[in-house]
Structure formats: C-alpha cells, structure tokens
Amino acid sequence: MSEKPNRREQKVGFRRLAGLTAVALVIVWLTARCTLRCPPHKTAVLPPPAAAGASLEDTFRKLPATGSGEARITLLDHNGEAWIERWRLVTEARHRLEISYFLLKQDVFGVAFLGALARKAQQGLRIRILLDAMGTTMSRSLTGNDYLDTLVRTPNVSVKMYRPLRFRYLEAFLTLNPAAVVASDHDKILLVDGVRSLIGGRNIAIEYFSDLDAGPGAFRDVDVLMYGTDIGAALHRIFETQFQDGEARPVHREKVDLVASSDELDLAFRIMDAWLRGETLPEELVTGIRQRRLPWLEELDAAPHLRGVLARAPPAPVTAPVRLLDSWTRLSADDDPITRGLSRLVEGAREEIFIQSPYLVLSREAADLLTRAARRGVRIIILTNGPKSSDNPLSQALFLEQWPELLARVPNLRLFVAADTHNLHGKLAAIDHRVGLIGTYNLDPLSMALNSELIAAVWSERFVERLTELPRGLISQGFPATSEYRIARDPAGQPLRDECGSVIAARGPEQQRDAEQWNTIQRYRKLLRGIGKVTGFGPLF
C-alpha cells in the first residue's frame, strides 16, 4: 500500500500554507496602499447608532432583516445532535433541497452527506448546492476527490462554485486588491422543502460532529434548527440570490470520467445510516470499504456517541420571533445589514452583552462601540479562542497583539479564552438576556468587511438562556477549560503602560502554550510588529 500523509500532517501542512498565504496577502495589500495611496475596496465602517431612547424590542423589530416571522427554533449545541438533525432533514425531504456550505470534507460525514443527496435526487427531488471555491479547496486532501463530479452527473442536481479561484486571482491582480482572493460565501444553509431549515457555524466535516470526549480535534459549535414558512421563504430568497449571482459558476461534468464514485457514495450513505440506526453493519459494506482502503470504519468507530441515535427524539423547540440578517460578499455589494444590525443592538443594550466568537480582531470603530456601551454601565463578556484551541495562528497573533489595548479601552469588559485543545467555533451573542444571535459572523475583518454572512436574531428569554448555557458553563469551570485575561492596573483601576506606551498584561496566554503552535504565533506577531513600524498601524485597525 502506498504511503499517504496522515490527517494531522495534512492539517499542519494546510495551516502553514494558509498562514503564509495570509501573510503574503497582508504584505501585498500594505505595499499597494503605501506605494499607490489607493484606498482598500471596502472598509468595515460602523453605521450611526439607533434612535436615542429606542427600546431593545423596538430596535429588534427594526433590524435590517431580509425576512422575519414566528418559527419553532431548536438549539443544536451538541455535536451529535447537529449531525443527526442534518441527517433527518435530508433523508426526510420530499420536494427540494437547497444547500450552501463553506467547507464540505471527504471524510465519512462529507461523503455520506453527498451519498444521501444522490439518493434523494434519484427519488426525483430537486437539489441545488452552492459551495465556496476557497472552502472547497481547503476541504480536499492532497489527492483530491471525484465525489462532487459524481453528484453533478446525477439527474435533478445542480452544483455551483462561488467565486472560482482563477477569477479571484485575476480580479486581485487587475484591481490591486488582495481581498479579492479571500472574499467568500461563508453562509451555511440547509433548507428543506422551503419550510424546515438549519443554519449556524458548522460545516460538513468530522471535527464538527465528533464527541468532545473522544479526542482533542473535536470542535465546539452551535446551530439552530428552524421550522416556519416565513423564515423558509426568506432563506430561499437568500440562497437564490447567491446561487444566481454571476460569481457563482456551474460545476460541469468531467468530459472523461476516469473514476466512477457512485458506488462509494452509496457505500458511505448505507454504512452511516446503519450506524445511526444502531444496526449491525452489513458484511458486504464492511468488505467494500476495506477493499477500497477507505478510513470510514475507523472514523465511525471513533463516533460511538452516534450509534443508534436515530431512535432518539429531537430536542424540544422554542417558538419565538426570528429576524434573518444577511450580508452579501462585500466585493459585490455595498450594504452590510449584519454589522448595521449588530451595532444598533449594542447601542440599545442596557444590562449585558455576551459574545462568543472564534476570532476576535476588532476595528477601532467596533472597539469604540463597546466602549460606549461599557460607559453606560453595560456588562460585557467575551469568550474566544486561545493559542491552544485556535485553528488560525495569524488570527491568534492579531488577537494577542490587540487584547491588552481592548481591555484598557473598554471598562466593564471581561475577556475569557478557551484554554484546552477544542476549537471554539460557534458564533453567538446575547443582548440583555432577551435577544439571541446565532450564525456565521465572526468578530474579525473577514466577516465584518468581506465575506457573505448570515445571522438569525431571536427574541426569546428562554432561547437566550439555552444559547448561553454552555459558554457560561465553560467560563464558570475556569482553568483548564477557560482562562480570563487581565491587564495591570493602578490602585484607581487605570491601565498601566510601559515606557513604549503599550498596556501591561497581568495575565495572558502563558499558561496555554503549545510549543509548535506558539512558535508559529510568535513569528506572526514579530511580522505584524514590523509591519506596524513601517505603516504606523496600531493594535486596533
């Protein structure tokens, strides 16, 4: 058997490549700005605050929503629940499926998902799939795959790729705007028969559905399952707009199909379905998988929490008003309803702002927004990734350069980071215990200025309590689950700075160092400081 890179080697290799690419883009962008004095294509400028004196409920009802309505909402904050509800949605669909994902990997979850879609298409359902070109490239192993081509060849299936890479590179070259390379469709939508839907932070890959107790690679994430005609109609419009956009290009069949993968799609579907039903795995399936030297049996063995779970009842829903905030990719649209809506909710907060974001890299305007809220007496709690849990060393380097200044500027802010190895991937927020926010939007420049993003805003104290239960629980556990970062202050509570004017950290990431990851982060920090000396950029963008 030929030797192949193992999963960890592939991940490490990709992360290094992604990090080097990101650094190169930053350098090219800064060089273009300094040399040509041309402004960036788009900046994350926050809108003016909401009308003075407006209640939070009034602010919620006037959010710049793409659609709204009452819906039955089920929170999916456990990985096993998130996979089984996706499986139910697809296998129980009757008429049509509309699907948009950033990442769809070729492990047993991704291939079984495609196999289920192929089966539904063969039953006559109309299926449309939109995948982001950057995410699809990231999803593949070094050897690539043929599964997507097999699905394209299936009747009733249409597949499009959003912003193929060759067009991105050409646009970046012609406009001298490196952001054109990375601007992506970051939405995650699964819409069934126009009524039942699932959105949130999870992509389709093993790390999003693995049990946290099974190993360090499992992610912590959160989705929401919704049932409602108005919300379904709004999600259909959102999907349709992106699917029919000129930057979404059809995926065509290969002229010569050298490898037929239809049998493997069917194998993956049948083995996953049997596992979820708790049935004995048919010998012919096991033999077929082993003959092809596929890792699916080992991947299922590592997911005992999914054995027989189809027999369990779904979690109980909450009925509440929902408003959908949708921002297109900012290279092709000027408006940004999500940033506008979030800023108005922050301005309307009077008690507490609770935020969980995988990446925390704020603009000066965003920091000022939080500062104004804190000065009104609003408690602000933020939970994000630390050096051991983050999957993005460059983003973590930016965060580590920024956090002391953020704590110095924002009174009442308490900043917590995940201290273990489980990536904190869920994007959520709660305002005054009444408005819950869940979706794809990170507090970083990509979400705030470039990517297509989607958020559901929910007016329900009961839903907010459920939404924040797990992250608050993580915070209450303390180290080694989470750690609170603090800065040095004088007896009057004012931030202390060193001779260079930098805020002095009292407690930071020192307890959470993973040698390899930490060394990479430190290299990025040195590079960022060098760029800052040349350009005059500070910790806040």
Residues across the chain: 541
Q: How many other CB atoms are there within 10 angstroms of residue 186's CB atom?
A: 28
Query: What DSSP character marks residue 311?
Result: G
β-strand 453-459 against 435-439: which pairing, if any?
A: antiparallel
State whether CATH 3.40.50.300 applies to domain 50-62+321-486+496-535: no
Q: Which two tokens stand for residue 241?
A: 């707009």
Determine contact, residues 75/463, Cβ cutoff 8 Å.
Answer: yes
Query: What DSSP character marks residue 462?
Result: H
Q: Which two tokens stand for residue 384?
A: 């994000």
Q: Which two tokens stand for residue 352?
A: 């507490």
Q: Which of 427, 423, 503, 493 is nearest to 207 (CA)?
A: 423
- CA distance linking residue 519 with residue 102, whole number of Å: 29
Q: Which two tokens stand for residue 132?
A: 């982001």
- CA distance linking residue 364 with residue 368, whole number of Å: 6
pTM of the full structure: 0.88
Q: Where are the beta strands (DSSP E) in 143-214?
A: 157-162, 189-192, 196-200
Q: Where are the beta strands (DSSP E) in 368-480?
A: 379-385, 413-418, 427-431, 435-439, 453-459
* pLDDT in the model for residue 36: 31
- CA distance linking residue 424 with residue 118, whole number of Å: 32
- CA distance linking residue 338 with residue 134, whole number of Å: 22
Q: Which two tokens stand for residue 53?
A: 């004196």
Q: What residues contact 182, with CB distance under 8 A and at least 6 apart?
A: 22, 25, 134, 168, 446, 450
β-strand 157-162 against 248-250: which pairing, if any?
A: antiparallel
The sign of the CA dihedral 369, 413, 451, 198 is negative
- CA distance linking residue 197 with residue 189, whole number of Å: 7
Q: Which CATH number fits domain 75-311: 3.30.870.10, 2.40.50.140, 1.10.286.10, 3.90.120.10?
A: 3.30.870.10
What is the chain's pLDDT, residue by residue, as a tens digit (541 residues)? 334 445 444 554 545 555 555 554 444 444 433 333 333 333 334 444 555 568 999 999 999 999 999 999 999 999 999 999 999 999 999 999 999 999 999 899 999 999 999 999 999 999 999 999 988 876 655 444 568 888 888 999 999 999 999 999 999 998 888 889 999 999 999 999 999 999 999 999 999 999 999 888 999 999 999 999 999 999 999 999 999 999 999 988 764 444 558 899 999 999 999 999 999 999 999 999 999 999 999 999 999 999 999 999 888 999 999 999 999 998 866 789 999 999 999 999 999 999 999 999 999 999 999 999 999 999 999 999 999 999 999 999 999 999 999 999 999 999 999 999 999 999 999 999 999 999 999 999 999 999 999 999 999 999 999 999 999 999 999 998 999 999 999 999 999 999 988 999 999 997 666 667 888 888 888 888 887 777 666 766 5
Task: Name the 3-class secondary structure at 342.
Answer: helix
Rounded to the nearest 10 degrees, the angle between the axes of helix 7-36 and helix 515-535 is 0
Continuous segment of H or E residues that includes residue 227:
strand 223-227
Q: Please, where in the chain does CATH 3.30.870.10 lie? A: 50-62+321-486+496-535, 75-311
